[in-house]
A and B are shown apart, each in its own frame.
Chain A
Amino acid sequence: MALVVFSSELQLFTGEECTHVEAARFKEIVAELVDKYESLTEEKLMEMAVAIDGEIIHTPFLEVVGEDSELHFLHRISGG
């Protein structure tokens, strides 16, 4: 099961720091999370970037998530 760690901002929606999710791909993880947390929307999650095992992905969607992967949702970074 992949470990999903929530930012303090997302914790406002989830009420917990992390959770384990059983899913093979990122979009399915999002579906699981939206199911699990009532106030968390797909839109909210999809507008964020994600770091899967430390690699920051700005527009995640089809990413394959490993059994022991660690996921962090974070704000998309832009730049100057």
Chain B
Amino acid sequence: MSEAQEFKYIGQRTIRPDGYDKVTGRAQYGADLSLPGMIWGRTLRSPHAHAKIVSIDTSKAEAHPDVFAVVTFKDFGSVEGESINAGEGAADVLDLARNCLADDKVLYHGHAIAAVAARTERAADDALDLIDVKYEVLSPVMDVEDAMKEGAPVLHEDMFTQGYEETPSTPSNIATRLEMKMGDIEAGFAEADVIVEREFRTPTAHQGYIEPHACTARYDEDGQSMVWCCTQGHFDVRTSTAKLLGLDLSKLKVVASEIGGGFGGKTVVYQEPVALALSRKAGRPVKMVMNRDEVFIATGPTSAAKLKAKVGAKKDGTITAMQGWMAYEAGAFKGSPMMPGVMTMFTPYDCGNVQVEGFDVVVNKSKVAAYRAPGAPQAEFAAEMVVNEVAEKIGMDPIELRLKNAAKEGTQTIYGPKLKTVGLIECLEAARDSDHYKSALADGCGRGIAAGFWFNIGGQSSVSINMNTDGTGTILEGSPDIGGSRASMQMMAAEVLQIEPSNLKPIVADTDSLPYSQGTGGSRVTFATGMAVIEAAEDVVKQIKERAAAIWNVTAEQVDYADGVAINTAGEEKMSLAEVCQAAEKTGGQISGTGNINARGAGPSFAVHLCDTKVDQETGKVDVVRYTAIQDAGKAIHPSYVEGQFQGGAVQGIGWALNEEYIFNDDGVMENPGFLDYRIPLASDLPMIETIIVEVPNSFHPYGVRGVGESGIIPPLAAVGWSVGDAIDRKVEELPCSPPRVLSLIQNG
């Protein structure tokens, strides 16, 4: 791409095309579809965190007059332990099935065991009480420390730690051990004048989307089955659901409803296969909607983690060695985001001597799901806290220290390749020069700064643009729009076609209408689906030129296209896009462009955050008084929604740092499964979140887009954590900084 592109539409703050429906209540979300003859499904969940299922007797529930069907694991048919692409990367089908409905063991409080479909939701709930499950209760293992101990109760007898030269012969709760290293870590520390080493803990936290998981499924023996659901990836829902029910992909249509938040948590299936299995048995459409407590106990949290970080530096601020250790909870089945944790931990730094070791550990909590830059916030929290302490120890400004060691183009990463063009230095400079950083800190307040790195991904996106005879068009994309991405798709297509964005209607098409598209996640949609949109729009332009050329009896190469008008360079004629579309009938049929791609070249997005907090010294309560989020967008297609991603990520991170955590009793039962006691930030908890958009273009995207959805959740943990410590003159090592923990730090050090 050229350095300074001139844009007609990109970079404007247009009104989003799906906005009207959303402010009027017309938009239909997961729970908003009802079908004729529809009945309701509800799920029986385990009261125990760890138990063998001795028997399940569903006969009484089946005999209930309002009940149409009861399903258990057996209704999934034969499921084998193969790997499929099930949303957030490869997943083991058997694990997926066992998470949807437990097989011979329940592995967490809230683990689904059976489901009932009945005439009303209340009748279905009543019938759940009639299912008789006999358990042999086992001791739960609730954190990595206990789970990794010799002799700990083992969740899976067939799990042997991967990642050692010799695979152990006894099963354990450690699924995987991973080590990455480069340079000479010992020599690096030997060179250091200052070494800081600390141990950290982060809690189990939930994505906290406001819309509970919901779906309506209709099984059709003639091959017209349909699932309507709120998901980040309806093609992946189709893959998983079809697999569990033994269907061909063509026989199941999945429709992505509007989605009320996901943040990674709606990348996997929970109820969808169950609802379709119920519908198959009942012969009726089945709706399933989770209660809020089910969302907390049985879906998505992200990993609680225990981490160690050790950083050495010379007096002049040169970082000489960085070492990390982490153990991430995977929940009931293997697959925590430990790997990206290892990969991202020290990536903001250009240091040659790095070593990181990570462990993926199963515990008796619900299986973790992706959460915004999965794995990175925990690891980078530990790293950034220690880097701040290094700066403090050598008496250097923390931004200067970071600038001195900042990762840049050519920096060797621990995971292999060298970085291409990145914008960390630009973000740090913007932070240093910001009004926030230059402002004096109020009395009794503390200030924290932290950086964050996330890869971003590309992947498969499929797009069609169907032109209408009046020159308007419909953009069909396969990536569910969670945060306003339809606006960006509209703008990018408009930029290529050089017509008003409002002439293009972007829709999220169902799985019957487009080839496979990867889900919305990894900050990929504006980047990858955007590239597919551009390709599809360029395809339209190509056809516009060809049609005009045919009319003018010239070659397509002799036709130019500018400002929405085809121009005959060999003559005088001009035709607007609308005129060419109008003539399509006579020039070979309607015009439609496609862009089916597997995008590569995703550009990492670095973020730098500044946080001021005030701490009540008598109660330990923390108030965020000022906050600034700075991030490299590559190119902001729609600046308002880019800022929105920065702000949303920042506030989720603030919540994680301050008050959000799962609380379990001794039996492994979650004690705060609701918004009352799982305390996400409120409007009254926060100041305005200031934003600075840095634009260092990603050369792999035609407009320079990087993707901005995830990096913003990484820096807040350390920015807040350091700020709190600064305000009370202590070192924070454990999140969240809830009032009792902060008061105890103040009083006991």
Interface residues of A (CB under 8 A from B): 5, 7-9, 12, 47, 51, 53-59, 70, 72-80
**CB-based nearest A residue for B419:** A54
List the A side residues contacting B90 at CB < 8 Å. Answer: 47, 76
- Neighbour of A78 across the interface among B165, B207, B370, CB < 8 A: B370
**CB-based nearest B residue for A72:** B416
A79 touches B457 (CB 8 A): yes
B457 touches A51 (CB 8 A): no
B180 touches A7 (CB 8 A): yes
In the bound complex, how far is the Cα of B303 from the Cα of A7, in angstroms?
A: 24
Interface residue B601 (Cβ < 8 Å from any Cβ of A): yes
B458 touches A58 (CB 8 A): yes
Enumerate B428-460 residues with CB–CB distance to A below 8 Å: 454-459
**CB-based nearest A residue for B355:** A8
B646 CB to closest chain A CB, in angstroms? 15
List the A side residues contacting B181 at CB < 8 Å. Answer: 8
A80 touches B340 (CB 8 A): no
List the B side residues contacting A74 at CB < 8 Å. Answer: 343, 415-417
B287 CB to closest chain A CB, in angstroms? 27
A79 touches B417 (CB 8 A): no
A72 touches B459 (CB 8 A): no
Given contacts A8-B181, A78-B89, contact A54 B418 (CB under 8 A): yes
Given contacts A74-B416, A79-B521, A80-B372, contact A58 B459 (CB under 8 A): yes
B416 touches A79 (CB 8 A): no
A72 CB to closest chain B CB, in angstroms? 3
B522 touches A77 (CB 8 A): yes
From A53, A55, A57, A78, name the one whose CB has the most chain B CB atoms within 10 angstroms: A78
A8 touches B179 (CB 8 A): yes
Interface residue B280 (Cβ < 8 Å from any Cβ of A): no
Interface residue B373 (Cβ < 8 Å from any Cβ of A): yes
A77 CB to closest chain B CB, in angstroms? 5
List the B side residues contacting A73 at CB < 8 Å. Answer: 416
List the B side residues contacting A70 at CB < 8 Å. Answer: 417
In the bound complex, how far is the Cα of B267 from the Cα of A51, in angstroms?
A: 25
Interface residue B192 (Cβ < 8 Å from any Cβ of A): no
In the bound complex, how far is the Cα of B88 from the Cα of A79, in angstroms?
A: 6
B598 touches A56 (CB 8 A): no
List the B side residues contacting A7 at CB < 8 Å. Answer: 180, 415-416
Interface residue B398 (Cβ < 8 Å from any Cβ of A): no
Interface residue B339 (Cβ < 8 Å from any Cβ of A): yes
Question: A-B pairs with the 6 shortest C-beta distances?
Answer: A79-B522, A80-B264, A72-B416, A51-B417, A78-B89, A80-B370
B457 touches A77 (CB 8 A): yes
Given contacts A8-B179, A55-B700, A59-B598, contact A78 B522 (CB under 8 A): yes
Interface residue B374 (Cβ < 8 Å from any Cβ of A): yes
A9 touches B178 (CB 8 A): yes
A79 touches B339 (CB 8 A): no
- Neighbour of A72 across the interface among B415, B523, B600, CB < 8 A: B415
Can you give 9 A-B contacts (C-beta < 8 A)?
A9-B178, A54-B418, A54-B419, A74-B415, A77-B522, A78-B89, A78-B522, A79-B521, A80-B88
From A7, A9, A77, name the one whose CB has the most chain B CB atoms within 10 angstroms: A77
Interface residue B524 (Cβ < 8 Å from any Cβ of A): yes
**CB-based nearest B residue for A75:** B339
A56 touches B459 (CB 8 A): no
In the complex, per-residue mask of B260-274: 1 if CB is within 8 Å of any chain A CB, else 0: 000111010000000
Enumerate B146-166 residues with CB–CB distance to A below 8 Å: 163-165
Given contacts A54-B418, A56-B455, A72-B416, contact A79 B598 (CB under 8 A): no
List the A side residues contacting B292 at CB < 8 Å. Answer: none
List the A side residues contacting B371 at CB < 8 Å. Answer: 80
- Neighbour of A58 across the interface among B83, B263, B370, B598, CB < 8 A: B598
In the bound complex, how far is the Cα of B601 from the Cα of A51, in angstroms?
A: 10
List the A side residues contacting B731 at CB < 8 Å. Answer: none
In the bound complex, how far is the Cα of B264 from the Cα of A51, in angstroms?
A: 25
In the complex, per-residue mask of B316-341: 1 if CB is within 8 Å of any chain A CB, else 0: 00000000000000000000000110
A80 touches B165 (CB 8 A): no
A79 touches B180 (CB 8 A): no
- Neighbour of A75 across the interface among B343, B454, B522, B524, CB < 8 A: B343
Given contacts A8-B179, A9-B178, A54-B420, contact A80 B415 (CB under 8 A): no
B167 CB to closest chain A CB, in angstroms? 10
List the A side residues contacting B143 at CB < 8 Å. Answer: none
**CB-based nearest A residue for B459:** A58
**CB-based nearest A residue for B162:** A9
A78 touches B521 (CB 8 A): yes
In the bound complex, how far is the Cα of B88 from the Cα of A75, in angstroms?
A: 13
B394 CB to closest chain A CB, in angstroms? 31
Interface residue B406 (Cβ < 8 Å from any Cβ of A): no
B374 touches A80 (CB 8 A): yes
**CB-based nearest B residue for A77:** B455
Enumerate B373-396 residues with CB–CB distance to A below 8 Å: 373-374
A12 touches B165 (CB 8 A): yes
**CB-based nearest A residue for B522:** A79
